């Protein structure tokens, strides 16, 4: 098992909270997932300006301007040297700059005063909801992470698309972490894998330390699924296409076609099973049809199983699916 001591050795002596058991519906076994606790949340880079104009209520915008004015005229020695910068911020804010509004929201949030924090979140909402502003969506993800995981997930997923469909690597990881906490292991694998592969898909947006974190998280999650869970056939099927960090099998390859055919046959079998039976003759015909679909799926999966490109997790999942099919066939 991964323990606090293991986490401490991985991350320079920083001790993390002991993970809790996440309940699941996979055969009644408790699912131990340590990813979010071991790797924490990846910090994010500031997003880039976007062309959309957020809709900010006049009263809320007035609060932002008032705060910017306070910064611009302060006599506090700590800020005096930055006075020109803050005066420029005020000017940019009045000119409708998205980044200036985001900077004001950050400043308000950093004051750690109840009303100011509320205002900062309202500003981030205006930017994220009205202008698809990446950094604001990230900020909302962190703001809601402990109080409303589903809402936090929404904003991390939004931010993960980045600007102009270029990925935001840290948000890919954080979305994957929250999917896991919400017991959606397939989506978690998908997002963490995407994070780990940014260096291949969008190298200009990759940070080596984040890539390493995601690679380690993906490996650990895969191992935990193998050693600590017993997925049913549907869960195994949902996980399979995300169970290789190399994104195997790729679409339109012979292996992908075999997998797709097998799933189509199993879906057809499942649909027929849900229909009411008619006469005895109909039942006999259905039974023969059932065997045809199951045998066809079994044949495709056995052929796929011969591939040497399958990951350890994919082999584990195929064994589960084939085992269940064998029970149904016999």
According to the model, what pLDDT value does residue 112 have?
80
- The CA distance from 233 to 227, in Å, is 17
According to the model, what pLDDT value does residue 273 have?
77
pTM of the model: 0.80
Pair of tokens at residue 288: 């023969």
Other C-beta atoms lying within 10 Å of the C-beta of residue 6: 13
Residue corresponding to tokens 């017993």: 230
Give yes or no for a contact between 98 and 135, defined as CB atoms under 8 angstroms apart.
no
| pLDDT profile of the chain (330 residues), mean per 10 | 29 27 33 38 44 73 90 65 81 90 94 91 94 94 95 97 84 96 96 96 93 96 94 96 97 97 93 68 71 95 97 98 92
H helices within 182-207, ranges in order?
185-196, 198-201
- The CA distance from 52 to 65, in Å, is 20
According to the model, what pLDDT value does residue 287 have?
74
- The CA distance from 182 to 24, in Å, is 10
């Amino acid at each position: 098992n991964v323990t606090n001591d293991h986490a401490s050795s991985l991350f320079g002596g920083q001790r993390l909270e002991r993970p809790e058991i996440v309940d699941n519906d996979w055969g009644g076994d408790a699912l131990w997932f340590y990813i979010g606790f071991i790797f924490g949340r990846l910090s994010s880079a500031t997003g880039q300006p976007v062309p959309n104009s957020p809709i900010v209520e006049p009263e809320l915008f007035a609060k932002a301007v008032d705060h910017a004015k306070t910064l611009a005229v302060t006599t506090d020695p700590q800020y005096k040297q930055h006075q020109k910068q803050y005066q420029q911020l005020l000017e940019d804010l009045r000119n409708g700059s998205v980044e200036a509004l985001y900077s004001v929201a950050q400043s308000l949030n950093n004051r750690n005063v109840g009303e100011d924090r509320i205002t900062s979140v309202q500003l981030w909402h205006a930017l994220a909801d009205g202008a698809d502003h990446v950094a604001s969506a990230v900020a909302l993800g962190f703001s809601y992470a402990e109080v409303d995981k589903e809402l936090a997930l929404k904003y991390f997923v939004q931010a993960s698309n980045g600007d102009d469909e270029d990925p935001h690597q840290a948000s890919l990881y954080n979305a994957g972490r929250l999917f896991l906490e919400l017991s959606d292991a397939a989506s978690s694998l998908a997002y963490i894998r995407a994070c780990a592969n940014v260096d291949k898909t969008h190298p200009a947006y990759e940070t080596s330390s984040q890539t390493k974190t995601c690679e380690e998280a993906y490996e650990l999650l895969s191992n935990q699924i193998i050693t600590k869970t017993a997925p049913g056939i549907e869960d195994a099927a949902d996980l399979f296409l995300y169970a290789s960090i190399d994104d195997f099998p790729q679409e339109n390859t012979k292996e992908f076609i075999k997998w797709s055919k097998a799933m189509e046959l199993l879906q057809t079998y499942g649909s027929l099973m849900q229909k009411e039976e008619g006469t005895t003759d109909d039942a006999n015909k259905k039974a023969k049809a059932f065997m045809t679909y199951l045998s066809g799926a079994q044949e495709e999966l056995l052929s796929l199983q011969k591939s040497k490109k399958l990951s350890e997790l994919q082999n584990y999942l195929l064994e589960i699916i084939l085992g269940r099919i064998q029970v149904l066939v016999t």
